[in-house]
Amino acid sequence: MENIQPAPFQQPDEEMNLGDLLRRLKEYWVEIKRNWLTIGLICIPFLVWQGYMALTTPVTYSSSLTFMVNEDTSGGASILNSLLGDFGIGQNQNNYDKILELGKSMRIIRYALFSKADIDGKTDYLANHFIRIQHLHEKEWSKKPKDPNQPSLNGFLFTRDSFEQFSRIEYAAFKSIYSMLIGGESTTPLFSTRYNQDSGIMSLSVKTRSETLTILLLRAIFDQLSAFYILSATEKQKETYDIIKEKTDSLLRQLSGAEYSAARFSEQSYGLMRPTDQLPGERFSRNKNIYTLIYGESLKNLELADFALKNRIPYVQPIDFPIPPITGAGYGKKKALGLGLGLGLVLGLAFVMWKMNSRQLKSDKK
């Protein structure tokens, strides 16, 4: 069998390849210089587009509110865990994300939006301030609804806060504002939450077209979240306290009645010497002593329930409240110029190179 010798390895001609590369780059440069006007014309639409974005994009004001929750209780139980236990969720640690999800709930946002505030000398619901400041009538709400069954919101403003009695159009307006704040698959949220897992510090952030609206809406959401959190965390202890308080008050009324009956009989018992005549007085005294004993125990239980309730009240501690002034963020002119010029140059250069390569392919075929 004949041995086949492998072909000797040939070193590529690096000088020739480098020369071809330099020659090719020179040809491109010459072609770019020749077509500079074409590249400039391609850049113009992108510059116009970015200029339009810079002029029409509204200035927005974004700010944050940070807070933390004191989870320490005398019983060693976590207040946060007790809150989540009330919701039917197992107890575990580092559940700050659940508190922040509660902050984005429809309930908390609803109460915040329907709190009244003064902006530019006008006192109204924050929901109506949001509608005016975000220009919903000129933009989102001016469009015809895609679904013919959906009511048109153009020109709508809220006149009441009785949510359970809202009409169809009122519910539609609220859901529209809520979706703008929370965001969706294709929209960026105006309200967001986050927390630092190491420090346990949580923050709420809001972005609107008004510095005042941003600050007031942030504070309203935090106030509602804090109040609802405290109410939920102490709900069971408050119910127990109310039951014991009602029972204690009832015992006090019975004790007062027994004392009055004993005193009244004592006033009328002069001259009654027979034991049978003194029997009602002994019964009144016995009932008074029984009610006194029971009332004392009930008072003790009431104090214990009151202590347990106060011990379970969580402490939501704000750290940094949003304060003016807030620097507005718009679509910067430098950003518009750089992006428009960059996109135009990339597309223009790609067009010139494609045109040059096409011309060379045609010449090679010939």
HEC profile of 115-183: CEEEECCEEEEHHHHHHHHCCCCCCHHHCCCCCCCCCCCCCCCCCCCCHHHCCHHHHHHHHHHHHHHHC
| Rama region for 198: left / alpha / beta (φ>0; ψ in -120 to 50; rest) | alpha
Q: What is the CA angle 167-162-316, rounded to 5?
A: 130
pLDDT at residue number 331: 67
Query: What is the model's pLDDT at position 181?
Result: 94
Q: Give just the sign of the alpha carbon dihedral 103, 104, 108, 114.
A: positive
Q: Can you tell me the distance from the alpha carbon of 358 to that of 360, in angstroms, rounded to the nearest whole number? A: 5
Query: Residues of 128-156 as b/e, b for ≥16 C-beta within 10 angstroms?
Result: bbbbbbbebeeebbeeeeeeeeeeebeeb
* C-alpha span between 113 and 342 (Å, rounded): 42
Q: Which pLDDT belongs to residue 196?
A: 85
pLDDT tens digits, the chain, 366 residues: what are they?
445 444 444 444 444 477 777 777 777 777 777 777 877 787 888 778 777 776 667 788 999 999 988 755 444 444 444 444 444 434 444 467 778 888 999 999 999 999 999 998 999 999 999 999 999 988 888 887 777 777 889 889 999 999 999 999 999 999 999 999 998 777 889 999 998 888 888 999 999 999 999 999 999 999 999 888 888 776 677 677 778 778 878 877 877 877 777 777 666 665 555 566 556 666 767 777 787 788 777 778 777 777 766 666 677 788 898 888 988 776 666 776 778 778 878 888 887 778 777 777 776 665
- Rounded CA gap, 71 and 315, in Å? 8
Domain map (residue ranges) of the chain: 17-56+332-365, 61-233+315-320, 237-312
Q: What pTM was computed for the model?
A: 0.64
pLDDT for the residue numbered 9? 45
Cα–Cα distance for residue pair 138/286, rounded to 1 Å: 80
Q: Which of 312, 233, 317, 319 is nearest to 72 (CA)?
A: 312
3-state secondary structure string, the chain?
CCCCCCCCCCCCCHHHHHHHHHHHHHHHHHHHHHCHHHHHHHHHHHHHHHHHHHHHCCCEEEEEEEEEEECCCCCCCCHHHHHHHHCCCCCCCCCHHHHHHHHCCHHHHHHHHCCEEEECCEEEEHHHHHHHHCCCCCCHHHCCCCCCCCCCCCCCCCCCCCHHHCCHHHHHHHHHHHHHHHCCCCCCCCEEEEECCCCCCEEEEEEECCHHHHHHHHHHHHHHHHHHHHHHHCHHHHHHHHHHHHHHHHHHHHHHHHHHHHHHHHHHCCCCCCHHHHHHHHHHHHHHHHHHHHHHHHHHHHHHHHHHHHHHCCEEEEEECCCCCCCCECCCHHHHHHHHHHHHHHHHHHHHHHHHHHHHHHHHHC
351 and 31 Cβ atoms separated by less than 8 Å:
no
pLDDT of residue 41: 83
pLDDT value at residue 83: 42
The residues, ordered by sequence, that sit 6+ positions from 226 with a Cβ below 8 Å of its Cβ are 67, 316
The CA distance from 173 to 177, in Å, is 6
CATH 3.30.2020 fits 61-233+315-320, yes or no: no
Query: From the centroid of its chain, how far is CA 102?
Result: 8
324: preceding bond cis by omega (within 30 degrees): no
Which pLDDT score is estimated for 351?
A: 79
Helix 333-365 × helix 36-56 angle, to 10° = 150
The C-alpha atoms of residue 34 and residue 40 are separated, in whole angstroms, by: 12
